[in-house]
C-alpha cells in the first residue's frame, strides 16, 4: 500500500513523538532501577562484611588491622582498591579492622548488573518500536481516509467537468467557423483552455501513475505555450532565445511544468513587464525569467499550499516540483524582491539521442 508524502510525514512524526516519549520514560525508570540494584549490592556487601567481622571466616574479603583514621566505622567506603568497611576491635581504640572487597570483584558484579540492564533496555526498545509503529499506523488511518475521500471527490469533479468542457469547446469551434474574426469567441476558447489547464493541474496533483515518455521538441513546445500565455496577457512582453533541443520525457508532464512556470511569470509580473525564455543547447538548460514582484521565501515555494499572494491555490509550483522529480529534472529558483525571479531547469539527464 503506497503512502503519499504527507502520510509518510504524519506517520514519521507520530512514531517519533510516541517512541521518544516512551523511550525517555523507560530510560528514567531503568536508570532508577539500575541505581537501586547498585545500592542493594552495596548493602548486601556491607551485611556480609559485618558478619565476617565476627569470625573472619570469609574468603571473599581481604582483612587487615590498621590504625584508626578519619573514616567512619560501620560504613561502606570506596576507593581505587575496591570497597571496604571498618569495624572496631574490642578493648582497643587505636586499631580497627578493615575488610576489603577488591575492585576487580566489585567491578565484575557491576558489569553483570549493567549487562542485565542493557539487555532489558534493548529488548524494551524493540517492543516500544513495534508498539509505536502500530500506534502511529492506527493514528494515521483517519488522515488516510480523509485524503482518499478528498482524492475521490476531486476525481469525481474532474470527471463531471468533461461533459460541459467538451460542449464548450465544440460550440466554441462552431462559433469560430461562423464568425472567425470575433475576438469574444477567441476569449471564450482561451478561457476554456485555462480551465483545462486547471483540470490538468488537479489531475497531476492526485495522480501517481507512471509517466510514458516520448521525444519532445522543446523549442516548438515553448513557442506554442508562450504564445498561449502571451494571448492571455497582452500587456506582458514575451522574449525568446531558443536553441534547437529535443528531450525524452512525458509530453503532458512537460507541458504542465511549462504552463505553471509561464503562467506564474505572467500572472505575478508588473504592468508592462517581460518574460524571457532561454533554451540553451550548450548548457542543456531552460531559464524562465520574469520582471515581477519577486519571491520573499524562495525555499518555500515548492511546498504544498504555500503561497505569498491571495490568488491561486498554492499547488502549482508543488506540482512543478513533483513532476520535475518524476522526470529527473533538477529545478532551481533565484529571486529578488522588486526585480524578478528566474527558474532554471537542468535538462542534461533527459536529452534525446534522436
Instruction: Locate the domains of the chain by residue range.
Output: 145-194, 211-350
* Predicted confidence (pLDDT) at residue 161 exceeds the cutoff of 90: no
Residues 166, 164: Cα–Cα separation, whole Å:
5
**Averaged over 60-65, what is the pLDDT?**
88
pLDDT band at residue 63 under the 50/70/90 scheme: confident
Per-residue confidence at 284, pLDDT binned at 50, 70, 90?
A: very high
CA 156 to chain centre: 30
* 342 neighbors 335 (Cβ within 8 angstroms): yes
Taking residues 170-196, what's their average pLDDT?
A: 71
- Cβ–Cβ contacts within 10 Å for residue 345, how many? 23
Query: Average pLDDT, stretch 76-91?
Result: 88
Q: Identify whether the C-beta of residue 73 lies closer than 8 Å to the C-beta of residue 86.
A: yes
Q: Which residue would you say has higher pLDDT here, 173 or 298?
A: 298
According to the model, what pLDDT value does residue 354 have?
67
What's the confidence (pLDDT) of residue 36?
94
Higher-pLDDT residue of 40 and 189 is 40
Residue 145 has pLDDT above 90, yes or no: no
Q: How confident is the model at residue 60 (pLDDT cuts 50, 70, 90)?
A: confident
Those residues with Cβ within 8 angstroms of residue 275's Cβ, 6 or more apart along the chain or in another chain: 226, 229, 236, 237, 238, 239, 262, 265, 266, 269, 288, 289, 290, 291
End-to-end CA distance of the chain: 38
| Alpha carbon distance 233, 277 (integer Å) | 16
Per-residue pLDDT, averaged over 236-247, amounts to 93
- Identify the pLDDT of residue 112: 94
Q: Indicate the average pLDDT of the chain.
A: 84
pLDDT grade, residue 199 (50/70/90)?
Answer: low
Mean pLDDT: which of 1-10, 137-146, 149-158 is highest?
137-146
CA distances from 185 to 60, 173, 181, 257 (A): 105, 9, 8, 27
- For residues 279 and 345, give the distance between their C-alpha atoms in angstroms, rounded to a whole number: 10
Span 211-350: which CATH code? 3.30.565.10
Amino acid at each position: 500500500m503506497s503512502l503519499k508524502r504527507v502520510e509518510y510525514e504524519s506517520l514519521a512524526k507520530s512514531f517519533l513523538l510516541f517512541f521518544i516519549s516512551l523511550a525517555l520514560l523507560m530510560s528514567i525508570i531503568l536508570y532508577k532501577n539500575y541505581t537501586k540494584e547498585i545500592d542493594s549490592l552495596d548493602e548486601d556487601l556491607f551485611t556480609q562484611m559485618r558478619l565476617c567481622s565476627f569470625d573472619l571466616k570469609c574468603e571473599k574479603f581481604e582483612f587487615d588491622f590498621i590504625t584508626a583514621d578519619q573514616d567512619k566505622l560501620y560504613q561502606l567506603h570506596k576507593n581505587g582498591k575496591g570497597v571496604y568497611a571498618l569495624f572496631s576491635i574490642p578493648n582497643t581504640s587505636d586499631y580497627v579492622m578493615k575488610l576489603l572487597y577488591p575492585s576487580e570483584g566489585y567491578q565484575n558484579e557491576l558489569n553483570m548488573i549493567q549487562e542485565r540492564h542493557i539487555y532489558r533496555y534493548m529488548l524494551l526498545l524493540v517492543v516500544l518500536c513495534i508498539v509505536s509503529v502500530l500506534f502511529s499506523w492506527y493514528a494515521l488511518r483517519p488522515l488516510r481516509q480523509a485524503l482518499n475521500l478528498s482524492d475521490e471527490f476531486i476525481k469525481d469533479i474532474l470527471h463531471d467537468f468533461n461533459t460541459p468542457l467538451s460542449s464548450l469547446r465544440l460550440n466554441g469551434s462552431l462559433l469560430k467557423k461562423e464568425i472567425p474574426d470575433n475576438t469574444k469567441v477567441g476569449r471564450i476558447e482561451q478561457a476554456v483552455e485555462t480551465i483545462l489547464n486547471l483540470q490538468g493541474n488537479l489531475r497531476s496533483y492526485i495522480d501517481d501513475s507512471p509517466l510514458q515518455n516520448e521525444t519532445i521538441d522543446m523549442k516548438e513546445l515553448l513557442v506554442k505555450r508562450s504564445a498561449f500565455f502571451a494571448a492571455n496577457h497582452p500587456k506582458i512582453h514575451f522574449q525568446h532565445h531558443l536553441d534547437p533541443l529535443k528531450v525524452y520525457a512525458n509530453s503532458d508532464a512537460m507541458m504542465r511544468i511549462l504552463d505553471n512556470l509561464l503562467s506564474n511569470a505572467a500572472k505575478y509580473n508588473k504592468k508592462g513587464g517581460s518574460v524571457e525564455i532561454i533554451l540553451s543547447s550548450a548548457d542543456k538548460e531552460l531559464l524562465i525569467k520574469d520582471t515581477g514582484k519577486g519571491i520573499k521565501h524562495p525555499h518555500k515555494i515548492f511546498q504544498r499550499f504555500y503561497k505569498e499572494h491571495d490568488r491561486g491555490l498554492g499547488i502549482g509550483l508543488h506540482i512543478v516540483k513533483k513532476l520535475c522529480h518524476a522526470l529527473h529534472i533538477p529545478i532551481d529558483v533565484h529571486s529578488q524582491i522588486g526585480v524578478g525571479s528566474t527558474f532554471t531547469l537542468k535538462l542534461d539527464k533527459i536529452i534525446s539521442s534522436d
